């Protein structure tokens, strides 16, 4: 029994204007977005940078502590 490839070929064809419709829909969605203020962005960024710095200090302290501990054990 032979496959019907005509229906597969029809579904693969691109519809005209599909890309332009996507960009129009994208523009409409961007208008709906509530963008944060500059103050909010700066505040959130400083919180993220602070948490990253604190995490780096914590991981560095743990690394140094374990290094000293293993140095005492295997001396």
Evaluate whether residue 69 is within a structural domain.
Answer: yes
**Could you tell me if residue 30 is inside a domain?**
no
Query: What pTM value is reported for the model?
Result: 0.57
Q: Kindly state the helix (H) or strand (E) to which residue 29 belongs, with its residue range.
A: helix 18-32
Q: Report yes or no on 50 lying in a domain.
A: yes
Q: What total of structural domains would you count in the chain?
A: 1
What is the CA 67 to chain-centroid distance, rounded? 34
Residue 29 within a domain: no
Q: What is the pLDDT of residue 13?
A: 62
The predicted structure's pLDDT at residue 17: 84
Q: What per-residue confidence (pLDDT) applies to 5?
A: 57
For residue 42, is it within any domain? yes
Domain range spanning residue 48? 37-75
Residue 4 forms part of a structural domain: no
Digit-by-digit pLDDT tens for the chain (75 residues) are 555 555 555 555 666 788 999 999 999 999 999 999 999 999 999 999 999 999 999 999 999 999 999 999 988
- Output the pLDDT for position 75: 82
């Amino acid at each position: 029994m032979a496959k019907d490839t005509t229906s597969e070929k029809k579904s693969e064809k691109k519809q005209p204007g599909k890309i332009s419709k996507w960009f129009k829909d994208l523009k409409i969605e961007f208008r709906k977005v509530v963008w944060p203020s500059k103050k909010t962005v700066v505040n959130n960024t400083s919180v993220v940078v602070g948490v990253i710095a604190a995490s780096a200090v914590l991981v560095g302290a743990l690394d140094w502590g374990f290094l000293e501990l293993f140095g005492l054990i295997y001396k």
